[in-house]
Amino acid sequence: MIVLFTDFGTRDPYVGQVKARLAVEAPGVAVIDLLHEVPDFNAHAGAHLLAALVGGFPPGAVFLAVVDPGVGTPRGTVVMQAGGRWYVGPDNGLLSVVAARAPDARLWRITWRPDELSATFHGRDLFAPIVAALARGEFPRERLAMVDAPGVEFDAGDLPRIIYIDHYGNAWIGVRGEPRVARVSAAGTVFAYGTCFGAVEKGQRLWFVNSVGLIELAVNRGSAAATYGLRVGDRVDVERVN
Amino acid sequence: MIVLFTDFGTRDPYVGQVKARLAVEAPGVAVIDLLHEVPDFNAHAGAHLLAALVGGFPPGAVFLAVVDPGVGTPRGTVVMQAGGRWYVGPDNGLLSVVAARAPDARLWRITWRPDELSATFHGRDLFAPIVAALARGEFPRERLAMVDAPGVEFDAGDLPRIIYIDHYGNAWIGVRGEPRVARVSAAGTVFAYGTCFGAVEKGQRLWFVNSVGLIELAVNRGSAAATYGLRVGDRVDVERVN
Amino acid sequence: MIVLFTDFGTRDPYVGQVKARLAVEAPGVAVIDLLHEVPDFNAHAGAHLLAALVGGFPPGAVFLAVVDPGVGTPRGTVVMQAGGRWYVGPDNGLLSVVAARAPDARLWRITWRPDELSATFHGRDLFAPIVAALARGEFPRERLAMVDAPGVEFDAGDLPRIIYIDHYGNAWIGVRGEPRVARVSAAGTVFAYGTCFGAVEKGQRLWFVNSVGLIELAVNRGSAAATYGLRVGDRVDVERVN
């Protein structure tokens, strides 16, 4: 299984070009679009999103993970194996939270350069062929050089900021949740805990532990983002109760 | 064939998580994204959209149908067989228009609860495994209990309201159309009948019977929604001519 | 491989209906969503986008190309073979730039009409069955009549206008690029050349030759469209340096 995690956008022609390459080089492998709307250029939010999301994917899954505003500059590129899954992407911190939280992460720098390499679309030209090889069960040793750690590393602890806002207007926080042990406030407003949306009245706000284990802010049958003016990057206060 | 019909949004990471589960539990089965932008939380509009859209899908198709603001509350969940197709989703009326219009609908309540069940994502945790079983050709009898009818039922007659607005700005009405037998008005404006967009001048409005049999309001090469301020839920007057 | 190139939108139920038809009539064939957000009704921009994008697809690929505001009127419909690839769509100029630039283009008019043909969704009812036949390796001779050229032809030279704006706010120009040989200005502003986004400071503008060979305007880690008010159709001045 190949899993795509990018900021390429769902409506642009970038994902289709990557998939065409994958269909040619790894025919018959299932390709799953996990997320193409990582906040643009935001590898930091992306790193925390990716770490939260990978748990649901089976061993052997190969992630093409691209949030890469430095594409075409001399920034590095990496392949990682962690928790039985593979990851391919830029070395700009995007994979570093998964790496730091996995006891068994191994990393390689990509030394290979394809004959046809655009300056602005390494997802298609550089990463997709590596992903396809891994998905075929091949380890492209001659294209890689082992390294000890990512060149760029973000703090792998919780990130008390909004890292994603979904189309309902729910805000994902980069903090792993434990029910009933925290006080959560954002935009000057305290959110009450609920197990699910219907735990509060229509139009009322709540925080809950979402389906990938993060704290999430919502309004039942409404938009927390619109109601409280929430934006990606906003700070959120999460207080642990003793 | 598995068909996804939800309000999960096209840009969020929810659909990908469902597809990963399906790829593991029903490998090799084609998964079709029919609609992920059912108006948010709107099972009523969703029920009429679903009833209009299913005709084009072959016998044996398994629909995962989720518009489920009550997820995590004690609302029921159902499996339905109707017209040779299968449906899995919440028992909140979403499947009830298909049920009422099918002479052969049979329903079961889902009694099973998986070991890992999030409070807010039953599409992934509860419905997808049932859908996968059906798509593999298995009927998961031990997870179901037969019921006579949906617990929540909407009126299965026509719904004279806007139930969907597409990205062109065309407005779908929950009324099944018959050419040249109606007078249609919305937002205080009478729409003239046309067979297709090009039947009127550029910028002019029309109503037509759309490709799934519903009355639809449009502007040739323009946006009816923007021009006339149309919104989902707006009332539309449809007069039958004797 | 089947490739979809349309203005059907990513969020509407049109693509799913086409895919259901393809899954039934050409089971097991990979279907790639290349672009569903061709600027609405804009076959001219679409023709230049398609010509730029097809290079990355393998021989034998079958394109379903639909930007078709004249659907249901007596406009023609065509099948084309060019550069080893197949194309199916309306005869409104959409395929004409690919046709004019391919030395080996051959065209056929579609004479067939299916028993069930809606007035507004020929992508599903007319084009998809033809595409499926070609993808199965069959040439549906009895449904076609050879013609010499498209009935509608756009100028196949460069088009010095914005033909697409992606979700980052980057603007694609219908002019094929050669590095360092042009002066590019739009919206009264001269853009400096850069090889990639990171070649200029954050927030600065640049033009570059994009990954499909077109001139593209961008702002490093920002939106050129929002910053300079760019819109599809805007004129761009591209001066060749001797």
pLDDT tens digit string along C186-225? 999 999 999 999 999 999 999 999 999 999 999 999 999 9
SS (H, E, C) chain C: CEEEEECCCCCCCHHHHHHHHHHHHCCCCCEEEEECCCCCCCHHHHHHHHHHHHHHCCCCCEEEEECCCCCCCCCCEEEEEECCEEEEEECCCCCHHHHHHCCCCEEEEECCCCCCCCCCCHHHHHHHHHHHHHHCCCCCHHHEEEECCCCCCCCCCCEEEEEEECCCCCEEEEEECCCCCEEEEECCEEECECCCHHHCCCCCEEEEECCCCEEEEEECCECHHHHHCCCCCCEEEEEECC
B37 CB near a chain C CB, below 8 Å?
A: yes
pLDDT in tens, B184-211: 999 999 999 999 999 999 999 999 999 9
| Torsions phi, psi for A34 (to 5 deg) | -85, -50
Architecture of domain C2-147: 3-Layer(aba) Sandwich (3.40)
Quick check: C20 contacting B, CB < 8 Å? yes
Sheet with C85-90, strands from edge to edge, namely C31-35, C2-6, C62-66, C85-90, C77-82, C106-110, C144-147
**Chain A residue closest in CA terms to C50:** A13
- Mean pLDDT across chain A, nearest whole number? 96
What pLDDT shows up at residue A240?
84
Name which of C49, C167, C198 is nearest A11 (Cβ-Cβ).
C167
Q: Is A114 on the interface with C (CB under 8 A)?
A: no
Could you please state the CATH topology (level 3) that the domain comprising A159-240 is classified under.
Answer: Elongation Factor Tu (Ef-tu); domain 3 (2.40.30)
B167 touches C at CB < 8 Å: yes
- Is residue B181 predicted with pLDDT exceeding 80? no
Q: Which residues of B touch A210 (CB under 8 A)?
A: 118, 120-121
- Rounded CA separation B205/C179 (Å): 46
pLDDT band of C182, cuts 50, 70, 90: confident
pLDDT score, position C39:
95
Mean pLDDT of C42-53: 98
pLDDT tens digits, one per residue of A39-70: 999 999 999 999 999 999 999 999 999 999 99
Q: Is the ipTM of this complex over 0.90?
A: yes
B112 touches C: beta carbon within 8 Å:
no
CB contact A15 to B (< 8 Å): no
The pairing of strands B77-82 and B62-66 is: unpaired
Predicted confidence (pLDDT) at residue B180 exceeds the cutoff of 80:
no
Set of chain B residues whose Cβ sits within 8 Å of the Cβ of C16: 3, 32-35
Least confident stretch, A83-92, A179-188, C79-88, C189-198:
A179-188
Query: Mean pLDDT across the stretch C50-68?
Result: 97
- Average pLDDT rounded to a whole number, residues C25-43: 97
With contacts defined as CB-CB under 8 Å, which chain B residues touch A211?
A: 17, 118-121, 124-125
On chain A, the residues whose CB falls within 8 A of the CB of B12 are 35, 37, 166-167
Q: Which of residues 76-105 of B touch C (CB under 8 A)?
A: none
Query: Which chains contact C through at least 3 pairs of Cβ atoms less than 8 Å apart?
Result: A, B
Q: How confident is the model at residue A215 (pLDDT cuts 50, 70, 90)?
A: very high
Mean pLDDT of B109-123: 97
Contacts of C10 in chain A (CB under 8 A): 10-11
Whose tokens are 């617990």? That residue is B151
Out of A167, A208, A220, whose CB is closest to B119? A208
Give residues with Cβ within 8 angstroms of A135, minimum separation 6: A1, A2, A22, A26, A29, A62
Say yes or no to pLDDT of B170 above 90: yes
Q: What is the mean pLDDT of chain C?
A: 96
The Cα–Cα gap between B210 and C120 comes to 7
Is the entire prediction scored with pTM above 0.95? yes
Q: Do B221 and C69 touch (CB under 8 A)?
A: yes
Q: State the smallest CA–CA distance between residue C31 and chain B in angstroms.
A: 11
* Interface-testing mutation among A4, A6, A7, A11, with chain C (most C C-beta atoms within 10 A): A11
Cβ of C16 within 8 Å of Cβ of B10? The answer is no
How many Cβ contacts (< 8 angstroms) between chains B and C?
81
Domain ranges of chain C: 2-147, 159-240
Q: What is the mean pLDDT of residues C8-35?
A: 98
Distance between B242 CA and the closest CA of chain A, angstroms: 42
Interchain CB contact of A146 with B (< 8 Å): no
List, for residues A115-160, the tens digit of each pLDDT value: 999 999 999 999 999 999 999 999 999 999 999 999 999 999 999 9
Contact list in B for residue C20 (CB cut-off 8 A) is 1, 3, 32, 34, 56-58, 61
Which residues of chain B neighbour C10 with C-beta distances below 8 Å? 10
Q: Is the minimum CB–CB distance between A211 and chain C shorter than 8 Å?
A: no
Q: Tell me whether B1 touches chain C (CB under 8 Å).
A: yes
Closest CB to B208: pick one of C14, C19, C120: C120
Distance between CA atoms of B94 and B98, rounded to whole angstroms?
8
* Cα–Cα distance measured from residue A222 to residue A197, given in angstroms and rounded to the nearest whole number: 10
Residue A101 confidence (pLDDT) above 70: yes
Give yes or no for C17 touching B (CB within 8 A): yes
Q: What is the 3-state secondary structure (H, E, C) of chain B?
A: CEEEEECCCCCCCHHHHHHHHHHHHCCCCCEEEEECCCCCCCHHHHHHHHHHHHHHCCCCCEEEEECCCCCCCCCCEEEEEECCEEEEEECCCCCHHHHHHCCCCEEEEECCCCCCCCCCCHHHHHHHHHHHHHHCCCCCHHHEEEECCCCCCCCCCCEEEEEEECCCCCEEEEEECCCCCEEEEECCEEECECCCHHHCCCCCEEEEECCCCEEEEEECCECHHHHHCCCCCCEEEEEECC
Measured on CA atoms in the order B33, B35, B37, B42, is the torsion positive or negative? negative
CA distance A116 to chain B (A): 30
User: How far B139 CA sits from the closest chain A CA (Å)?
Assistant: 25
Is the C-alpha dihedral spanning B5, B7, B10, B16 positive or negative?
negative
3-class DSSP string for chain A: CEEEEECCCCCCCHHHHHHHHHHHHCCCCCEEEEECCCCCCCHHHHHHHHHHHHHHCCCCCEEEEECCCCCCCCCCEEEEEECCEEEEEECCCCCHHHHHHCCCCEEEEECCCCCCCCCCCHHHHHHHHHHHHHHCCCCCHHHEEEECCCCCCCCCCCEEEEEEECCCCCEEEEEECCCCCEEEEECCEEECECCCHHHCCCCCEEEEECCCCEEEEEECCECHHHHHCCCCCCEEEEEECC
Average pLDDT over residues B155-179: 95
Mean pLDDT of chain B: 96
- Nearest residue of chain A to residue B41 (CA atoms): A221
AA letter at B123: G
**A to C CB pairs, distance under 8 Å:** 81
Residue B232 near chain C (CB below 8 Å)? no
Chain A residues within an 8 Å CB radius of C37: 11-12
CA angle in degrees (0–180, nearest 5) for B201-B205-B208: 105
Nearest chain B residue to A10 by CA distance is B11
Q: Is C77 a residue whose pLDDT tops 80?
A: yes
For the cut 70, the answer to whether the pLDDT of residue C180 exceeds it is no
Interchain proximity B56–C125, CB inside 8 Å: no
Q: Between chains, do C20 and B32 touch, taking CB under 8 Å as contact?
A: yes
C1/A12 CB distance under 8 A: no
Q: Which chains touch A (3 or more CB pairs under 8 A)?
A: B, C
pLDDT in tens, C98-157: 999 999 999 999 999 999 999 999 999 999 999 999 999 999 999 999 999 999 999 999
